[in-house]
Amino acid sequence: MSLTFAISPFLIIAFGAMALMLSEAFAKRSNGLALGTTIVFAAAGAFAMAVWLYGLEDIEGLDTLTPWLVVDRFSLFFDVLLCLGGALAALLAGGYLPEHNLDRGEFYSLLLFSTFGAMMLAAAGDVLTLFIGLETMSIGAYALTAFRRASAKSAEGALKYFLLGSFAAALLLFGFALIYGATGHTDLVGIGAALKAGASKQPMVVIALVLILAGLAFKVSAVPFHMWTPDAYEGAPTPATTYMAVAVKSGAFAMMLRVLLTAFGDPSSMSWSAGWPPVLAWVAVLTMTVANLIAGRQESVKRMLAYSSIAHAGYILVAVVATMRSQTLAGASVLFYLLTYTVSTAGAFGALILCGRRGAEAVSYEDLSGIGRRHPAAALPFALFLVSLAGIPPTAGFFGKWFIFRAAMESGLTWLTIIAFINSVIGAYYYLRVLVYMYMREPAAGAPIAVPMRSGYVTAALLVSALLVLALGLSPTRSLDVAVQAASFGG
Amino acid sequence: MPNAQIAIYAPVFIMLAVATLVAVLFFVGASTLGKKNPTPEKMLPFECGSESSGGRHVKLSVKFYLTAILFVVFDIEAVFIYPWAIQFRSLGWFGLIEMFGFLAVVIVALVYVWKKGALEWES
């Protein structure tokens, strides 16, 4: 099989994005763009699965590509995951944008271009391709955040995101430049080999590692680099928030795993005494604790979900730390968690979209009160996704957390596991609070009553996520096997 | 070898120190040594000899911004084409096809902004 087949997911997204962009410019209408975008995402995901099933061993000439773009099971897994996140965001946009009078076709092309960058990020084998992928992903996300042009909140969130994001990208670039100075390599494998050969003793490498860790922590929105997240997530139109919370975050974690395990995978950098694990462990503790405490005090459900996504980044960081002892098991738990997190978060934001219509977007807890009795079809999926985010069986979120805790325990990080467990109990409080409002409260007299919108697109997105949440929660073994295969990439 | 590394960069640090010193000297010298005799005419903002008029905050049309951004896109295109043209013979057919692919992407962008009406000044 030829090389074209191996990179077909990339080609489909790129050509699909350009075709949709031109069709929108010529037709001057945006009907059906959501469907077209979903089809492009589905096709790219299907081709990624086909490459996975075909096997990469028989594809000739793959090694000519490898120094820059690594097509392996890790990147194929992320291709499918990112296409799933993108498709869910596109479906939600198909219902949300017309309802809220934001129906402009650029949304879908930006979504596709940004996903292209995220896929490239997951496949990057060189810091140069990594940086191009990162910027392609981020610039699309900045524009999506600012999509509600007339809203000051949207502009504020986008500007904060853009300024801090550029700053983080600069830190990352500076770190890469120092690493290049210390090792003479820009490819991750070459950096890893040079560090293993003893270059990791240089002070320059330590400074580079700190800068790179700060840049990565920003991109996954870990505390104390999280300040932009609540504002950007709240200001952005909800489908764009969904996209940022699921796909951008997954792409950032793919980059983090690849950089840390391939470039900084030598025994010294990975040790508890002289490497990145203790730094990330403390970042994880801070992220989980701070995000959970603040999330419990939010009055806006959308903002609460933003803080919840920060907290989830903290849980995932626990597993990233655990990769220092067992790359395959802990790495697989990161990938599996990202999968469960993607379907639960996209579903929760989708249900929030469904609960509001033009001029009456459901934002606060009060808006949702009593909706469980009046509109059970909107409240039931919402409840399911929140239960999954809280990590209660038999949903996907339970096994996501279970595998992360198990990986952390087996790496000897008992204290970290205990903190993560306590935090997931705190987290349950604010998820269940939504349920209390939906099912046990009645709206105050004279308060505006949320009327769910009707949209086939949103319903389809909710159905797909609900099915996946239940399927992953009831039989996780098969997906975990896939994640294990994906996580065992060459160091 | 931290000491050897620092030794390599020593000229840079010396340059930095000298540059800072000169700048500080000029500032301090100008503010302490010179005579000061301000008149209203002297305090006016200098604008190529002609009298200045109007406030500082002139609102520019957003159109200029759009045109500038579109210009940057095609400017970058020229930046990429130039080294390719220099190395045209050694890159051969592969280089030609790659460059056509790149141009095709940029032309898609051009067609898009054209159809969207971003090139029309009056609208």
The domains of chain A are located at 276-491
Query: Is residue A18 less than 8 Å (CB to CB) from chain B?
Result: yes
Residue A84 has a pLDDT of: 97
Beta bridge partners of A300: A364
Contacting residues of A for B110, CB less than 8 Å apart: none
Cβ atoms A353, A95 nearer than 8 A? yes
Residue type, A180: Y
Q: What is the pLDDT of residues A177-218, one digit of tens each?
A: 999 999 999 999 999 999 988 877 788 899 999 999 999 999
Q: Which residues of B touch A183 (CB under 8 A)?
A: none
Rounded Cα–Cα distance for residues A223 and A426 (Å): 17
**How many domains does chain B divide into?**
1
Please answer yes or no on whether B116 and A22 come within 8 Å at the CB atom. Answer: no
Residues 5-64 of chain B whose Cβ lies under 8 A from any Cβ of chain A: 5
Residue A448: per-residue pLDDT: 65
B112 touches chain A (CB under 8 A): yes
Per CB-CB distance under 8 Å, the chain A contacts of B62 are none
Average pLDDT over residues A43-57: 91
Give the residue from A425, A403, A404 showing the smallest Cα distance to A416.
A404
Cα gap A389→A381, rounded to integer Å: 12
Interface contact A204, partner B, CB < 8 A: yes
Does the structure show a pLDDT above 70 at B1? no
Report the alpha-carbon distance of residue A382 to residue A372 in Å, rounded. Answer: 10
Confidence bin at A360 (pLDDT 50/70/90): low
Residues A240 and A88 sit within 8 Å (Cβ to Cβ): no
Angstrom distance (rounded) from CA A275 to CA A20: 46
Distance CA B92, CA B99 (A): 11
B96 shares contact with chain A (CB less than 8 Å):
no
| CB nearest to B112's CB, from A25, A202, A203 | A25
Q: Given an 8 Å threshold on Cβ–Cβ distance, is A204 in contact with B108?
A: no
Distance from A23 to chain B by nearest Cα, in Å? Answer: 9
| Cis amide prior to A224 (ω within 30 degrees) | yes
Residue B103 reports pLDDT greater than 80: yes
Q: Is B108 on the interface with A (CB under 8 A)?
A: yes
Contact state of B112 with A204 under an 8 Å Cβ cutoff: no
The verdict on a CB contact (< 8 Å) between B115 and A26 is yes
Neighbours of B46 (CB within 10 A): 8
Distance (Å, rounded) from C-alpha B94 to C-alpha B84? 11
Is the Cβ–Cβ distance between A345 and A384 less than 8 Å? Answer: no
**Chain B residues closer than 8 Å to A21 by CB:** 108, 112
DSSP letters spanning A316-327: HHHHHHHTTT-H
Instruction: Determine the Cα angle at A170 with ends A169 and A176, to 5°.
Output: 90
Contact B112 A203 (CB under 8 A): no
**Backbone torsions φ then ψ of A300, nearest 5 degrees:** -100, 130
Predicted pLDDT at A440:
87
The answer to whether residue B120 is domain-embedded is no
* A21 touching chain B per CB within 8 A: yes
The answer to whether the beta carbons of residues A79 and A44 sit under 8 Å apart is yes
Query: A239: distance to nearest CA of chain B, Å?
Result: 24
- State the pLDDT confidence band at A490, using cuts at 50, 70 and 90: low
Q: Which two tokens stand for residue A108?
A: 């879908």
User: In this complex, do B112 and A21 lie within 8 Å of one another by their Cβ atoms?
Assistant: yes
- Report the candidate in A239, A475, A464, A430 with the shortest Cα–Cα distance to residue A336: A475
CB pairs under 8 A between A and B: 16
Q: State both tokens at A305.
A: 């979900």
Give the mean pLDDT of A383-397: 93
CA distance B115 to chain A (A): 6
Q: Is the pLDDT of residue B47 over 80?
A: no
Task: Please tell me the predicted confidence (pLDDT) of residue A312.
Answer: 96
Q: Do B115 and A25 touch (CB under 8 A)?
A: yes
pLDDT tens, position by position, A120-167: 999 999 999 999 999 999 999 999 999 988 889 999 999 999 999 999
**Identity of the residue in B2, B5, B112 whose CB atom sits nearest the CB atom of A22:** B112
Interface test with B, best of A11, A21, A106 (most B CBs within 10 A): A21
Q: Using CA atoms, how far apart are residues A363 and A302, in angstroms rounded to an integer?
A: 6
Tell whether the model's pLDDT for residue A336 goes beyond 80.
yes
Specify if B33 maps to a domain: yes
Q: Residue B30: which domain range?
A: 2-115
The Cα A58–Cα A51 span in angstroms is 10
Closest-CA distance, A21 to chain B, in angstroms, reads 7
Locate the chain B residue with the closest alpha carbon to A199: B1
Question: What mean pLDDT comes out for the span B6-19?
Answer: 89
CATH of the domain at B83: 1.20.58
pLDDT of residue B2: 59
Alpha-carbon torsion (A160, A131, A41, A12), positive or negative: positive
C-alpha span between A437 and B45 (Å, rounded): 63
SS3 A364: strand
Cα A240 → chain centroid: 12
> What integer pLDDT is reported at residue A359 of this predicted model?
66
A residues 22-61 lying closer than 8 A (beta carbon) to B = 22, 25-26
Minimal-distance CA residue of chain B relative to A15: B105
Which pLDDT does position A200 carry in this prediction?
72
Query: Could you say which DSSP state residue A148 is in?
Result: S
* Secondary structure in 3-state letters for B40-85: HHHHCCCCCCCCCCCCCCCCCCHHHHHHHHHHHHHHHHHHHHHHHH
Task: Establish how many alpha carbons lie within 13 A of residue A121's alpha carbon, considering only the half-sphere containing its beta carbon.
Answer: 28
Distance (Å) from the alpha carbon of B95 to chain A's nearest alpha carbon: 17
- In a 13 Å sphere around the CA of A137, the CA atoms on its Cβ side amount to 32
Q: What is the pLDDT of residues B78-100, one digit of tens each?
A: 999 999 999 989 988 999 999 99
- List chain B residues with CB under 8 Å of A26: 115
Considering only CA atoms, which of A454, A444, A91 is closest in space to residue A246?
A91
> Rounded to an integer, what distance in angstroms lies between the CA atom of residue B7 and that of residue A37?
57
A205 interface with B at CB cutoff 8 Å: no
- Give the pair of three-digit tokens for residue A249: 């975050």
> Does the CB of B101 have a partner CB in chain A at under 8 Å?
no
In 3D space, the residue among A12, A121, A1, A117 whose CA is nearest the CA of residue A70 turns out to be: A121
Once rounded to an integer, what is the mean pLDDT over residues A103-129?
94
Residue B86 lies in a domain: yes
